Amino acid sequence: MTMAGRASTVLGASVLALVSLAGALAQTPAAPTSGAAAFITSPPGATACLGCHGPEATALPSLARLSARDIETALAEFREDKREPTLMNRIAKGFTAEESKAIAEWLAAHAGKAP
């Protein structure tokens, strides 16, 4: 969005209409990783995490401000019983290291943005 705004400033008012048209196109399903619909390309399992871990912290932590590395490490520790769990060990054991990495990367990028 900010990029679109910058483009219009650079190119001048004559292309404003085209810019907004392009912006509209970017929001269609043709844009597979659009921030507004990042769930479309989410790795298996990732979107379900947001049922408990919302954009804001509650008694349960938000994932929005964690790095991919932080999330991946936490999932690995729960998976390998190296961290004291209540529930997360039972979920983490359902995913391989590779799947967990993909989930961690996706969550780090999108957990705070209602993907």
Partner 1 sequence: MISAPTRRHVLAGAAALAVTPMVRPASAQASARVVVIGGGFAGATCARKLHRAGLKVTLVEPSASYISCPFSNAVLGGLRELKDQTFTYEALVREGIALAPIEAKAIDGDARRVTLGDGASLPYDRLILAPGIDIRFDGLQGYDQAASEVLPHAWKAGPQTSLLRRQLEAMDDGGTVVISAPNNPFRCPPGPYERASLIAHYLKTHKPRSKVLILDAKDAFSKQSLFTAAWKELYGEMIEWVGLSAGGKVTEVDPGSKTFITEFGKHRADVGNVIPPQRAGAIAVTSGIADQTGWCPIDPVTFEARQHAGIHVIGDAAIAGGMPKSAFSANAQGKACAQAVTLMLRGEAPPSPKLINSCYSLVAPDYGISVAGVYQPAKGLLADVAGAGGVSAAKAPASVRAAEASYAEAWFKTITHDVFG
Q: Which residues bind partner 1 (CB under 8 A)?
A: 1-4, 7, 10-11, 15, 18-19, 21-23, 25-37, 39-40, 42, 44-45, 47-54, 58-60, 86-87, 90-95, 99, 114
Biggest CA pair distance of the chain: 61
The position carrying tokens 């054991």 is 93
Please list the alpha-helical segments (H only) found in the chain: 2-11, 16-26, 68-79, 88-92, 97-110
Closer Cβ to partner 1, 49 or 104, answer by number: 49
Torsion of CA 112, 97, 82, 59, to 10 degrees: 20
Least Å distance, CB 75 to partner 1, is 12
Nearer to partner 1, 25 or 97 (CB): 25
C-beta of 17 vs 69, nearer to partner 1: 17
Find the shortest distance in angstroms from Cβ 62 to partner 1: 9
